[in-house]
Structure 1
Amino acid sequence: MNTQIRHDWKKEEIQAIYDQPLLELVYQAATVHREWHKPSEIQVCTLLSVKTGGCPEDCSYCGQAARYHTDIKVQALLPTEKVLEHAQKAKDGGSSRFCMAAAWREVRDNKDFDRVIEMVKGVNDLGLEVCCTLGMLTEEQAVRLQEAGLYAYNHNLDTSESYYDEIISTRKFDQRLDTINNVRKAGITVCSGGIIGLGESNGDRVSMLLTLATMPVHPESVPVNALARVKGTPLENNPKVPIWDMVRMIATARIVMPASIVRLSAGRIEMTEEEQAWCFMAGANSIFTGERETLLVTPNPGLSEDMQMFQNLGLKPLVKENKSACSIV
């Protein structure tokens, strides 16, 4: 098929891909996937919340926002030794990437950031790809993380630029792009995707993919999240995302960003094994695991359950020989 990486996509082109009959779309995506990746290999990533809750932002989907009354307990930044214990356990369980998330609006140059730098160094020394998601980031802060050994930085777009203000009022869409640009300038790989099920239209979903697919360098990692409906947040009563919407989103992302790792992220707890298999067929080649069967603060399948699914489907965890290839949410 000889698929080329393009950065000049038009919205109408991506919309036409997204709107195809489902089986034709999945066939095309699976064909592209096999051209660029080994379809039997799935990267297993572990995501740990190193600082939970108390965030000043008002993201409508997030139970960690301080203004919403949820059951999520605020937790200060974890001790470095504890984080490294989690990282070692993740590596022993087959993860090749370890992502640390802090519920901050932005990184501040203080002792907490110094501790995160130490965590990055420690996880890097274990031979894992190190990823962080810490909120907005300056170029100087990105350079500090890169020098400490950070491999990837996650900063999702969440949704389209035109729908963004319906979901978040405490920061602007352009600020997300600024952070992504700062990460790229520092030589860190980019992990950026979004969430479906926020009340957005299909056009919004396509617009979000267009923003990602027309970046000068595609994100090495594109997480596709289904809304995890957290009680106490404004979106708690949104309907469950239909599986075929997830499949369409993953397949379209695979076709327009063929070299990227497409991550089947939040929402797996509500998917059957058969539904997840469709996502893998459509081009997803990574999943997130979390200790205590959680993904940050929402339910997630356990590692043993995932390994059984891999066995049933003939899949295996991707083993990284080195950190040269390419990550909450």
Structure 2
Amino acid sequence: MTTQTAINYRELAEQVLSGYELTRAEALRIVEAPDDDLLDLLHAAFQIRKSFFGKKVKLNMIINAKSGLCPEDCGYCSQSIISDAPVEKYALLSKESILAGAQEAIHRKAGTYCIVMSGRRPSERELDHVVEAVKEIRETTQLKICACLGFLSEQHAQKLSDSGVHRYNHNLNTSKENYSNICTTHEYDDRVDTVQKAKESGMSPCSGVIIGMGESDRELVELAISLRALDADSIPVNFLNAIDGTPLEGAQHLDPRKCLKAVAMMRFVNPSKEIRLSGGREINLRALQPLGLYAANSIFVGDYLTTQGQEPTSDWQMIEDLGFEIEECAL
């Protein structure tokens, strides 16, 4: 029986910074690293992060512009048709409410404002409504706009891009192999198609994962490699928040150390990309949240779609205590 040679994470980081692409086997060893290696691993991940982003942290804010009423059956989502979670349900917010959200994003020191709608895909009326709001936000602020409206046609993607939407989010969420265990009303490849359409329209592609939905470590690595192949500019790393009333209700919280290894792996595999600590970080990383920013360079500030986040002041303080700085927000 042979014993694997210990990984020198710092040397591996130097190779990555020289253009080396991590193999699946190397990425898997990072996810499965011993807990005793965690600080050394994060230090190496920080060398990559620092090379591309310094000590700056990007802040993003979400507005849930349309809540509930979704015909999809995604097992993690409190807004899906099969969810019994007691979430607020409402049609698309008024333009005034969306504009007010942009001002709140600036107040929270966010540089990116994320307009999110539940549902399979936007109707023509809904898309035009969002486009008009985006145009006004772009005329009056320096905010970057990210939209997350569901599946897109080529025409809808181009219309959003032409209106001034900088980025389009459509997460892969879980591996292709695991996808049918999480959702049956659409397929993994449908999500890949929308990410590609967003990119082809000129919008920056944003796509990420939800860790903790029954995927294996190998499948998590495959997701990281798939996002590298898609050339996603921004990768939200969510950690399952098993909401009561959803099929995944009762799933155990993740080990915070394993979560940090997964984030570090994402940084090694996608060295130059925005890695964002996203939904579920508060309840899964818990007291280790600050360590996540040694690999990630971005967070959501404030609440998520149907769950609460930390107070913005707590996030600001966390960033300051690390000796990091908030990336300059829009004025």
Change (3 A) 1:271 1:177: closer
Instruction: Name the % identity.
Output: 32
Contact 2:209/2:237 (8 A) holds in 1: yes
Question: In 2, Cα distance between the equivalents of 1:219 and 1:178?
Answer: 13
Matched residue count: 313
Question: In 1, Cα distance between the equivalents of 2:228 and 2:84?
Answer: 36
Rg (Cα) greater in structure: 2
Q: Deviations over 1:99-129 (max 9, x none)?
A: 0100011123x21111011122122221101
Q: 2:320 aligns with which of 311, 314, 317?
A: 311
Cα distance, 1:4 vs structure 2 = 4.2
Change (3 A) 1:100 1:71: same
RMSD across aligned positions (CA): 1.8
Q: Which runs of 4+ in 1 moved over 3 A?
A: 271-274
Q: Secondary structure at the match of 1:232?
A: coil
Contact 1:273/1:309 (8 A) holds in 2: no
1:225 is aligned to 2:238: yes
Change (3 A) 1:57 1:272: closer
Please give the TM-score of this superposition, normalised by the length of structure 1: 0.90
Give the AA of the match of 1:262: I
Cα distance, 1:312 vs structure 2 = 2.3
- Structure 1 runs not aligned, ≥5 long: 323-329
Contact 1:9/1:213 (8 A) holds in 2: no
Structure 2 counterpart of 1:114: 128
Structure 2 counterpart of 1:211: 226
Structure 2 counterpart of 1:15: 28
Question: In 1, Cα distance between the equivalents of 2:125 and 2:89?
Answer: 19
Contact 1:43/1:317 (8 A) holds in 2: yes
Contact 2:62/2:113 (8 A) holds in 1: yes
- Structure 2 runs not aligned, ≥5 long: 1-13
Contact 1:58/1:65 (8 A) holds in 2: yes
Q: Deviations over 1:56-94 (max 9, x none)?
A: 000000000122211102111000111111111211321
Give the AA of the match of 1:162: E
Cα distance, 1:316 vs structure 2 = 2.1
Question: In 1, Cα distance between the equivalents of 2:38 and 2:217?
Answer: 14
Q: Secondary structure at the match of 1:60?
A: coil
Please give the TM-score of this superposition, normalised by the length of structure 2: 0.90
Structure 2 counterpart of 1:54: 69
Change (3 A) 1:145 1:72: same
Q: Deviations over 1:273-308 (max 9, x none)?
A: 741111012x11111023xxx211012111122122
Change (3 A) 1:31 1:235: same
Question: In 1, Cα distance between the equivalents of 2:234 and 2:19?
Answer: 15
1:289 is aligned to 2:301: yes
Cα distance, 1:13 vs structure 2 = 3.5
Q: Deviations over 1:237-277 (max 9, x none)?
A: 10001111221111111111111110000113325674111
Question: In 2, Cα distance between the equivalents of 1:95 and 1:246?
Answer: 24
Change (3 A) 1:207 1:74: same
Q: Secondary structure at the match of 2:84?
A: coil
Contact 1:52/1:102 (8 A) holds in 2: yes
Give the AA of the match of 1:76: A
Q: Secondary structure at the match of 2:175?
A: coil
Q: 2:262 aligns with which of 227, 245, 249?
A: 249
Contact 1:133/1:154 (8 A) holds in 2: yes
